Amino acid sequence: MADNGSILVTGAAGKLGAVGRTVTGLLLDRGLAVRAMVRREDDRAAALRAAGAEVVVGDLLEPADVYRVVSGCRRVYFGMSVSAGYLEATVIMAAVAREVGMNALINMSQMTVSQMSVQNTTSSPQQRQHWLSEQALAWSGLPVVTIRPTVFLEGFFLPLTGPSVRDRSRIELPFGRGKTSPVATADVARVIAAVLADPAPHLGRIYELTGPRSQDMDGVAREYSDALNHEVTYADIPPKDWEQGLKKAGLPEHLTHHLVTMAELNRAGRYDRMADGVERVTGRRAMSVREFVSLHADEFGGRRSSNKTANTRI
């Protein structure tokens, strides 16, 4: 099967730092031809085009769109927003891939799937759909590589702790004493780009991805403090208050339900995980919380200058 065509990246618009968008940039940097699938023409699509991608518009829930978009590509990264139609989109992608032929399908999943079985699922509709999607892809016989990251720094910690760290120097989450090892999507994207560039050694593999340390939220807050040069503390807020805040912010029910389950699993210690997938695939250690917060210091309210502290000590 010849494989000199473009690599398809779905969900390529995303926000800054989202997986598909970052993967697109990394593949273009490697000089590879990329077909970037977006849901609509907008500034993000224009930016992808300006960066050198072939931009195609389509809906992952429309089989005819997926057929049009996949045709001519033998390597595909499949990922999209946490949403109610995730399983349907996966099965459509699998059906199309079987019809047109595929050398590698890189499937975005979640690390919680590693703890799931027929008798032990979670109440998150998204985690269940990822678990079922993995089953369906295994039955499909397609050459799949499965990516199972733990919680994202860009997609979770930045939007959900940024405002309270900026305003009150506090991380406010209902995570109890549970430990967590968040991973940067920048690292997740580096793994996916490496696999897409040369899929053969990875086919059939499952890569679990975490950051370099699993620690409780006081430990995470210490890394924020080090990065921002002022004290950031952790407040273990009541789960119901957090859920109300998510609903008030207008998040879709599917996403709210998923986030509420994540918090429950965190409190139960189920995010206390360590995996070496980032280093194994890319040869580079995963980014720490401190490194991430330093890189995004402005979005967390900025790094305070140390002059004042130094002067008061004299």
Ligand X SMILES: NC(=O)c1ccc[n+]([C@@H]2O[C@H](COP(=O)([O-])OP(=O)(O)OC[C@H]3O[C@@H](n4cnc5c(N)ncnc54)[C@H](OP(=O)(O)O)[C@@H]3O)[C@@H](O)[C@H]2O)c1
Shortest distance, CB of residue 30 to ligand X, whole angstroms?
Answer: 19
Residue keyed to tokens 């949403």: 83
Residue keyed to tokens 């039955």: 139
3-state SS, residue 40? coil
* Closer residue to ligand X in complex, CB, 155/178: 155
Which of 126, 146, 161, 164 touches ligand X (CB under 6 A)? 126
Which of 7, 13, 220, 221 touches ligand X (CB under 6 A)? 13
* Closer residue to ligand X in complex, CB, 82/186: 82
- Residue 179 binds to ligand X (criterion: CB under 6 A): no
Shortest distance, CB of residue 154 to ligand X, whole angstroms?
Answer: 8
CA angle 40, 191, 187 (to 5 degrees): 80
- Span from 9-17, 166-174, 278-286, 298-306 in contact with ligand X (CB under 6 A): 9-17
Shortest distance, CB of residue 191 to ligand X, whole angstroms?
Answer: 12
- Residue 60 binds to ligand X (criterion: CB under 6 A): yes
* Closer residue to ligand X in complex, CB, 59/276: 59
Number of residues that bind ligand X (CB under 6 A): 25
* Closer residue to ligand X in complex, CB, 80/195: 80
Shortest distance, CB of residue 130 to ligand X, whole angstroms?
Answer: 6
Shortest distance, CB of residue 82 to ligand X, whole angstroms?
Answer: 5
Please name every residue paired with 250 in a beta bridge, in sequence order, or none if there are none.
none
Closest CA to 291 of 303, 282, 283, 281: 303
Which of 9, 26, 80, 142 touches ligand X (CB under 6 A)? 80
Q: What interhelical angle do 253-267 and 125-140 show, nearest 10?
A: 100
- Residue 151 binds to ligand X (criterion: CB under 6 A): yes
- CB proximity list for 278: less than 8 A, separation 6 or greater: 183, 187, 188, 190, 191, 209, 210, 284, 285, 286
Sign of CA dihedral 133, 135, 137, 143: positive
- Residue 156 binds to ligand X (criterion: CB under 6 A): yes
- Residue 39 binds to ligand X (criterion: CB under 6 A): yes
Shortest distance, CB of residue 200 to ligand X, whole angstroms?
Answer: 24
- Is the Cβ–Cβ distance between 168 and 258 less than 8 Å? no
- Residue 211 binds to ligand X (criterion: CB under 6 A): no
Residue keyed to tokens 């593949």: 27
Q: What dihedral do alpha carbons 288, 15, 134, 10 form, nearest 10°? A: -130
Output the six-digit token pair for 88: 């349907």
DSSP of 134-177, one letter per residue?
A: HHHHHHHT--EEEEEE-SBIIIIIHHHHHHHHHHHSEEEE--TT
Which of 54, 59, 88, 226 touches ligand X (CB under 6 A)? 59
Which of 8, 9, 18, 275 touches ligand X (CB under 6 A)? 18
Chain contacts with ligand X (rule: CB under 6 A): 11, 13-15, 18-20, 39-40, 59-61, 79-83, 108, 110, 126, 149, 151-152, 155-156
